[in-house]
Amino acid sequence: MKRSERFNLHVWIRLVAVIAAASLIKSASSDPVAATRKTPATTVRAVAMSQPALVGKLTQPRLAESSGIVASRKYPGVYWSMNDSGHPPMLFAVDHTGKGLGRISLTGARNIDWEDIAIDAGGMLYIGDFGNNSRKRKVLTIYAVGEPDPKSKLKAAAVKHKYRFRYPAGHGPFDCEAMFVRKGWAYLITKEMSRARLYRVRLDPTGSAKAKTIQAEYLGLLRGAQWVTAADICPAGRRIAVLSYLGVWVYQLDKPIEKVVAAAKATTQTSPATRPLRVVRAKPLNRSVMLGQAEAVCWEAGLCSKALLITNEQRKVYRIRMIGPGKVKH
């Protein structure tokens, strides 16, 4: 988010905080679905989220406006973050408390309005340059870069692929600040006051997509979410964390997201561009929290992650635990 818009944002937050927070609390307290639905043996379904615990502060002076965070797939204990618009194209390595571990400059990239960072199973990092506060940008970009070694003496890395995309005809343009990546797809969540739309963009470095503008595919609405600022998916592909200034939502799927989409497409006769898929049907687990200008969330490292890390532009780092059956809330 650009600095010139922050004053209006803070005014808006104060006006809607009470109403939105009350709605989230009511929804969280009246959700018996998450607690009673049968769960596959490989996944322990959470029934609640803990209160956020302050665990640290971002220490690197140049990481002034953390707008995304994601856990490394190659280097244990390492998390990657980056700045919002108005900063050089640079990645920052931190630990789970925010302590700086290194920084890497990116060549072949521009930071017009970077808003989120994601990672795939192979360790490829994706930076979403799709912020669109003025709603004037029609073509957006996702940069892909191989995950660098944060301790390497080489302090630069080259972008490997650039994916330029647009929303389907009749959709948008939207502001977007949230992305996660899985199985060759980037999933994007729009930032809207009353709802959140889910899209996906094909990431195909070997095909013709790299030479043209890709059309995003509309997957429908995310139930409950609004004013979304960040997102992440756990490595198993069954838990999606969605962050806003006023709350956190966790969507717990019965199977990985790509299989959920495939099943939805198999039962839908018309194009998602004209009729949205009902991809995420389950009511999300949620918690009403206000953590400042929070614009970054990720799952802690692990196949079935049990906690979230959240950073804000005030440089604080918070942790929220997923609470399963029989566990005690702290």
pLDDT at 304: 67
| pLDDT attached to residue 22 | 43
pLDDT at position 325 is 76
What pLDDT, on the 0 to 100 scale, is given for residue 17?
47
The dihedral over CA atoms of 288, 294, 300, 303, expressed in degrees to the nearest 10, equals 70
Give dist(CA 75, CA 157) in Å, integer: 16
Is 3-323 CATH 2.120.10?
A: yes
Q: What is the pLDDT of residue 270?
A: 61
Residue 139 DSSP label: S
User: What pLDDT is stored for residue 212 in this prediction?
Assistant: 87
Q: What is the spatial distance between Cα 321 and Cα 330, in angstroms, rounded to a whole number?
A: 9
Separation between Cα atoms, residue 159 and residue 218, nearest integer Å: 27
Are 220 and 279 a contacting pair, CB within 8 Å? yes
As a whole number of angstroms, the distance between CA 26 and CA 17 comes to 14
Residue 28: helix, strand or coil by DSSP? helix
Interatomic CA distance for residues 298 and 303, integer angstroms: 13
* 232: DSSP letter: E
Element (H, E) at 259: helix 257-266
- Hey, what are 217's tokens? 């595919």
Sign of the Cα torsion 280, 286, 291, 292 reads positive
What are the mean pLDDT values of the chain's consecutive 10-residue runs (330 residues total)?
Answer: 53 45 41 36 76 97 96 96 94 97 96 97 96 92 96 92 94 94 97 94 77 90 93 94 95 93 80 62 87 96 85 95 66
